[in-house]
Amino acid sequence: MGESGRVVMITGGSRGIGRAVAFRFAEEKPSMIILHYDPDDSAASDTVTKLSELGIQAAAYKLDVSSYKDVEALFKNVLSRFGKVDVLVNNAGITRDSLLMRMTEDDWDTVLRVNLKSVFNCTQVVIRSMIKQRGGRIVNISSVVGQIGNPGQANYAASKAGIMGFTKTIAREVAGRGITVNAVAPGFINTEMTAGLPDKIKQYFLQQIPLARMGEPEDVAEAVYWLCSDAARYITGQVIHVSGGLFM
């Protein structure tokens, strides 16, 4: 186990925001569990190698977090290897954008499964052990789009708004057990998810951001880390927006 003794599990920790969260935790030398899905696991192995170079005990597991059965099996594995999970960051997410008139049933189902059902899956399997140890931190990565909507993202916005409702409900359910549950809602962040957007869309977003730039994954990681620190012990059921003021 790492020096701090905390065991941190991050879904989608192989790249983008999840990877930045992993590196933000690095200074306290936790044990780190990275979940990812791409069969080409070069991003995950690169992340684990770099974390190991920093002296962190890190492991990557490849699975589809939207499968309850697979998440349950993974967690058994994690418990036998690490003994517990103190911090869960539900970060894995995807987009399948199109206007409602053109959105297929598969686009809807896939995004809701990966972005929202996965949060139920991972939270439910982890929370039992957090309740037993009477403590834990859960941070769910939502999106500004779940709050304000965005044309072409009905599935994504619904999944991210769902995360906000889920977060507040579970925060109420487990507050008495010393567990905090919060959400972070990023705005427009510089990762592979946004890299492919047409310049026109990027310009449109940039014009609406008071701080007049895209966010970096590290900007989001800072808020996640803080919510998991002792400094945030009296904060639960909140949605913290990290969007340069895009939503206020």
Report the site for ligand NAP in 135-154 (rule: CB under 6 A).
141, 143
Residue 88 tokens read as 């869960």
Rounded to an integer, what distance in angstroms lies between the CA atom of residue 132 and that of residue 134?
5
Residue among 28 and 46 whose Cβ is closer to ligand NAP: 46
Least separation in angstroms between CB 132 and ligand NAP: 26
Rounded to an integer, what distance in angstroms lies between the CA atom of residue 221 and that of residue 21?
4
Least separation in angstroms between CB 175 and ligand NAP: 24
Q: Kindly list the strands in the beta sheet with 239-242, ordered across the sheet, starting from the edge strand earlier in the chain.
A: 57-62, 31-36, 7-11, 87-90, 136-141, 179-186, 239-242
CB 82 within 8 A of CB 31: yes
Question: Among residues 94, 131, 197, 206, which is the contact residue for ligand NAP, using CB under 6 A?
Answer: 94
Question: Among residues 57, 155, 191, 236, which is the contact residue for ligand NAP, using CB under 6 A?
Answer: 191
> How far, rounded to the nearest angstrom, does the alpha carbon of residue 4 sit from its chain's CA centroid?
21
Select the span of 63-71, 77-85, 174-182, 223-231 touching ligand NAP (CB under 6 A): 63-71
77 near ligand NAP, rule: CB under 6 A? no
| 156 included as an active-site residue | yes
Angle formed by the axes of helices 118-133 and 68-82, to 10°?
30
Least separation in angstroms between CB 191 and ligand NAP: 3
Report the site for ligand NAP in 98-137 (rule: CB under 6 A).
114
Nearest to 189 by CA among 65, 90, 95, 66: 95
Least separation in angstroms between CB 177 and ligand NAP: 26
Give, in order, the Cα–Cα distances in Å from 95 to each of 82, 108, 109, 132: 32, 10, 11, 35
Give me the catalytic one of 61, 68, 156, 225: 156
Q: Which residues bind ligand NAP (CB under 6 A)?
A: 11-12, 14-18, 35-38, 43, 64-66, 91-94, 114, 141, 143, 186, 188-189, 191-194
Catalytic residues: 156
